[in-house]
Amino acid sequence: MQPVDFTTLTAACEELRAGWLPSRLEQVYQRDRFTISLALRTLKGRGWLDISWHPQAARLCIATPPPKTPDTFTFSQQLRHQLGGLALTAVAEIAPWERVLDFQFGKRPGEPALWHLYAEIMSKYSNVILTDADNIIITAAHQVNEKQSSVRPILTGQRYEVPPLLSDPIPSLSESQQRWQERVSLIPGKLGRCLLKSYRGLSSALVQSMIQAAGLDPNQSSDTLTQSDWQSLFQKWQEWLLVLEKSKEDISARQNLVFLPGWTEQGYTVLGWGVVEPATDVHSLLDRYYTNQLNQQEFTQLRHQLTQKLNSILGKLRQKAQGFEQRLQQSDTADQHRQQADLLMAHLHEWEPGMKSIILADFDTAEPVKIKLDPEKNAVQNAQALYKIHQKLKRARNAVEPLLAEVKAEIYYLEQVEAALAQTEFYSSTEDLQTLTEIREELIQQKYLEDPEYRAATKAESESHPYRFETPSGFELLVGRNNRQNDYLTFRLAGDYDLWFHTQEIAGSHVLMRLEPGTVAEEADLQYAADLAAYYSRSRQSDRVPVVYTEPKHIYKPKGAKPGVAIYKQERIIWGRPQLK
């Protein structure tokens, strides 16, 4: 994940000063363990400033409004108590070339600051710290005691100290090319690494884009560069410094924009180098990039967690079902034991003391039947033992059959969940993450997962939506992405004229074809819906899959059934072809 470097922070700070100073702080909300959102109000409007101390995605940017779920974090409550209703009067750097900003809050612009909110955007060392006017720490997002850091502890009641200064040289426009080149090429190595280690204020992303903009390879050795190469790279170096220098000028005196934010093949840039898609502003660029990166990270972790849990539960259930089936197979011999006991009782006269087995003719087929005997028991006792085995096996069947049916129903339900999980294989939008979140919530509600930090999200903010398709005749097709959506489509959205599709006795999505009164689905429409139902099922890899379809009025949910479970009748069958999707 690309970190926010000094250049990006400068660009974000410039836009913040231009559009949000001064502003009134109306609300403080903590989105998660690493991000607070400040609601700022200006004469032009209202916006949410996100300040994050995430170890991999520390940043600050104007972002989308937070969700309407309750905020239970202590840090945001402390900020709300101290800063609520005050004005954000200034955003200042604490020192040149430092990635630390001082957000100053007071009663009104022009008056001395009453509070300082220090945002330290320094990768894994990032933090947000609130101090009073005397720089005494009131609270911090992440407190650091003496055992964690003897160099710079961060504790309430102590005086705020700036981070230790780096010893690397500071880039300067006044430095000559010869001195700059000597410093960079002092120890030969990969060009990008040499440049990165020679000065402070640089990042891997900045160095790579700078070298590529100069037409060079970051991985080539520094001792292979010609004088022309050095000249080209130094020109880009000074372009970068000129942009930073110009950003310090009065905004009203500028003739054009300083920073040129945009997307690159590797990530993003604020300097216009290697841009494949321009961005409207720095803040929207940062919000979109880090939201997508963090969502993708969370998506991968959550999908792995759910997959592992389902595999574990299904493995145990299938093993349990196999044990029940084996016991049922054993109970199939119950009648055989009763028949042997009947034969033995009918031929008591043929028994002799000490016999270990006896061969008697079957009543119906006259075929010889070999019966094992206990030599220490007489014929009647052996027959009674066979009758007892028959009764035991018969009772076992009566007890095991409902248990097996229950386990099979549970397996089918979890296979339905597994099929929904398999459909959402890769992250492409926030909708994918929300789909997995709903699957996790469902498993928590069904007691398959434990999550002590689980909090139900506000319904209006959290719902994902089904896949949408269109049949050849133009009818809308909706495909459930998880069991919550399946139940919604089948039991809430479906109308009297719609058609419902599902793979026959195979776990998969519910598919709903929306039809208006008087309209009739053609054969091509039915086939298209069947193909989709087959594709979004556990039989996706098959050539042909049986799909049932019926009217919603013929579908019902048994009392107490799990999410996504539906019973149907008066169905018709059509063969779906998942490979055509």
Q: Which amino acid is at 54?
A: H
Mean pLDDT, to the nearest integer, of 250-267? 76
437 located within any domain: no
Asked whether the predicted pLDDT for residue 26 surpasses 90, the reply is yes
Give the domain extent around 82: 6-165
Same domain as 249, residue 161: no
SS3 letters across 124-138: HHCEEEEEECCCEEE
For the chain, the distance separating the N- and C-terminal CA atoms, rounded to the nearest angstrom, is 34
Cα–Cα distances in Å, from 519 out to 61, 322, 475, 478, 533? 51, 48, 10, 17, 21
User: What's the rounded mean pLDDT across residues 456-472?
Assistant: 71
Does a structural domain hold residue 350?
A: yes
Residues 23 and 112 in one domain: yes
Task: Report pLDDT for 458.
Answer: 38
In a domain, 291, yes or no: no
475 lies in the same domain as 548: yes
Total count of residues recorded for the chain: 581
Query: Contacts for 453-462 with beta carbons within 8 Å, 24 or more apart?
Result: 455/69, 455/70, 455/72, 457/67, 457/69, 458/67, 458/68, 458/69, 460/68, 461/67, 461/68, 461/69, 462/67, 462/434, 462/437, 462/438
Report the distance separating Cα 424 and Cα 356, nearest Å. 63
Tokens coding 278: 């321009």
Residue type at 359? I
For the residues 441-445, what does the mean pLDDT come to?
A: 91
Rounded Cα–Cα distance for residues 575 and 534 (Å): 9
Do the Cβ atoms of 483 and 526 come closer than 8 Å?
no
- Residue 172 belongs to a domain: no
Number of domains in the chain: 4
User: Is 50 exceeded by the pLDDT of residue 454?
Assistant: no
Co-location of 494 and 346 in the same domain: no
Residue 256 has pLDDT above 70, yes or no: no
Residue 430 above 60 pLDDT?
yes
Residue 402 CB coordination number (10 Å): 10
Q: Residue 400's Cα: distance from chain center in Å?
A: 40
d(CA 310, CA 26): 44
Q: What is the mean pLDDT of residues 361-387?
A: 87
pLDDT at 581 over 80: no
What local confidence, expressed as pLDDT, does residue 560 receive? 84
Is 80 exceeded by the pLDDT of residue 452?
no
pLDDT at 219 over 90: yes
**What gap in Å lies between CA 260 and CA 30, rounded to an integer?**
30
Mean pLDDT of 250-279: 83
Q: For 265-308, what is each residue's pLDDT tens digit?
A: 889 999 999 999 999 999 999 999 999 999 999 999 999 999 99
CB atoms inside a 10 Å sphere around CB 312: 11
Confidence check: pLDDT of 457 > 50 = no
Asked if residues 193 and 150 have their Cβ atoms less than 8 Å apart, the reply is no
Mean pLDDT of 308-320: 94
Residue 460: pLDDT band with limits 50, 70, 90: very low
What are the C-alpha distances in Å from 36 to residues 59, 60, 65, 431? 11, 10, 11, 23
Q: Do 321 and 418 share a domain, yes or no? A: yes
Same domain, 13 and 139: yes
Last residue of a domain, one of 404, 423, 442: 423
How many other CB atoms are there within 10 angstroms of residue 461's CB atom?
12
134 pLDDT above the threshold of 90: yes
Final residue belonging to a domain, choices 423, 449, 473: 423
In a shared domain, residues 130 and 70: yes
268 falls within a domain: yes
Question: For 193, phi and psi rounded to 5 degrees?
Answer: -70, -40
* Claim to verify: residue 124 and residue 11 sit in the same structural domain: yes
Residue with tokens 């019902």: 556
Is there a cis peptide before residue 402, judged by omega within 30 degrees of 0?
no
Q: Within a domain: residue 452?
A: no
Q: Per-residue pLDDT for 455 more than 60?
A: no
CA atoms within 13 A on the CB side of 209: 25
- pLDDT, position 533: 95
292 lies in some domain: no
- Our CA angle for 259, 262, 265, nearest 5°, is 135
**pLDDT > 70: what percent of the chain?**
96
Q: Assess whether 137 and 181 both reside in one domain.
A: no
pLDDT tens digits, 524-554: 999 999 999 999 999 988 999 999 999 999 9
Q: Same structural domain for residues 352 and 392? A: yes
State residue 572's pLDDT score.
95
Closest alpha carbon to 121 in 195, 198, 206, 10: 10
Q: pLDDT tier at 319 (50, 70, 90 boundaries)?
A: very high
Confidence check: pLDDT of 166 > 80: no
Q: Which of 250, 291, 269, 219 is nearest to 48 (CA)?
A: 291
pLDDT tier, 392 (very low <50, low <70, confident <90, very high otherwise): confident
In a domain, 307, yes or no: no
If you average pLDDT over every residue of the chain, what do you get?
Answer: 90
Residue pLDDT, tens place only, 482-511? 999 999 999 999 999 999 999 999 999 999
- Indicate whether 19 and 111 sit together in one domain: yes
Please tell me whether residues 71 and 202 are part of one structural domain: no
Listed residues 165, 191, 214: the one ending a domain? 165
DSSP helix/strand/coil, 51:
strand
Please, are residues 391 and 283 in contact by the beta-carbon 8 Å criterion? no
22: confidence class by pLDDT, cuts 50, 70, 90: very high
Q: Which two tokens stand for residue 433?
A: 């993450």
Please report which confidence band the pLDDT of residue 336 belongs to, taking 50, 70 and 90 as the band edges.
Answer: confident
Distance of CA 157 to the CA centre of its chain: 38
pLDDT of residue 456: 42
